[in-house]
Amino acid sequence: MTDSRWVVDVDGASFASEVLERSRRTPVLVDFWANWCGPCRTLGPILAKLAEELQGRFVLAKIDSDRNPDLARRYGVRGIPAVKLFIDGQVTNEFTGALPESRVRKFLEESLPSGADKAASQAMAALTRGDLQAAEAGFAAVLTQSPEHTEALLGLTRVYLDSGRMEEANATLARLPARDREGTEAKLLAARLAFAAAAVDIAPLAARVEADPADLAARMALGEALVARESYAEGLEQFLEVVRRNRAFDDDAGRKAILRVFDLLGPGHPLIASFRPRLSALLFS
């Protein structure tokens, strides 16, 4: 047995509690090793040293692969030492072989959540349970220390959107680094913002379109207002009609609006499967 607070010996009986459950609170670095393995004797002390040095950023779990072959098979261990990082019950990164200390440090630096990451996750949990005040305070605190923290920027944008504070939502999303703007969550929030600004009375717009079906500006505004009310299919029909009547209208506005709705709906939504082929037929006929 080890005598360190940050290093534990684990077997099949304790794996669920010491690795899977514990990793939901603290990252767990699992070291599959064996007594006969020379590289394991080289790597083991390096891992233990770093566990002590980092004082709780991760726990090192030592698993004797000879005594626990079922665990080794379950996690695809084919050579040792095999090191696997568990976070929230899942393997998030791994390596095999006795890396030098410098490379192990680099692996940990790239793989372990930072203090800002943990704080952002706590703020996201508050947002998920509907506590907008706590979420806003948490994300703001993260951004004070890490102004380009992606999860915090996205989370704070969601807080502002859910609070109806559109200017602040737009300003916060605009701070997102360019490298992250094509991510799924960023595109979803951008779409929400675009359509939230169009939440106006539908009746006058519908009347304009009925009076003049070729009024594409009115048709675009009607589609946006419908989407803002979550009448997605009806809004998509308006945008599709704009594309059908004039693909080039307002710099391809109809097609772009359809793609924003797709971002808003998310992958796999049945409306995407219905409308994407219709859009393609118009674009490529």
Question: Using an 8 Å Cβ cutoff, are 195 and 260 in contact?
Answer: yes
Q: Which CATH architecture has domain 202-284?
A: Alpha Horseshoe (1.25)
Report the number of secondary-structure helices (H) and strands (E) in the chain.
Answer: 14, 5
For residue 150, indicate whether it is catalytic: no
Which class in CATH covers the domain with range 7-111?
alpha beta
CB 201 within 8 A of CB 171: no
Two tokens at 270?
């049945």
Q: Which residues contact residue 284 at a Cβ distance below 8 angstroms, ignoring those fewer than 6 apart? A: none
37 given a catalytic annotation? yes
Alpha-carbon distance of 131 to 119, in angstroms, equals 15
Q: How far apart are CA 211 and CA 143, in angstroms?
A: 50
Q: Parse the chain into domains and list their residue ranges.
A: 7-111, 115-196, 202-284
Instruction: Classify domain 115-196 at the CATH superfamily level.
Output: Tetratricopeptide repeat domain (1.25.40.10)
Q: Which of 62, 3, 5 is nearest to 29 (CA)?
A: 62
Q: What sign has the CA pseudo-torsion 239, 241, 247, 250?
A: negative
Q: What does the pLDDT profile of the chain (285 residues) look like in tens digits? A: 456 789 999 999 999 999 999 998 899 999 999 999 999 999 999 999 999 999 888 999 999 999 999 999 999 999 999 999 999 899 999 999 999 999 999 999 999 988 888 899 899 999 999 999 999 999 999 999 899 999 999 999 999 998 989 999 999 999 998 888 888 889 889 888 888 877 788 999 999 999 999 999 999 999 999 998 889 999 999 999 999 999 999 999 999 999 999 999 988 899 999 999 999 999 997
Q: Which residue type does 156 have?
A: L
For residues 232 and 223, what is the distance between their CA atoms, to the nearest angstrom? 9
Which residue do the tokens 């009076």 mark?
Answer: 211
Catalytic entry in 37, 47, 135, 159: 37
pTM for the model stands at: 0.59
Q: Which of 7, 28, 30, 40 is catalytic?
A: 40
- Helices marked H in 26-131: 38-54, 69-74, 101-111, 115-128
Q: Fold match between 7-111 and 115-196?
A: no
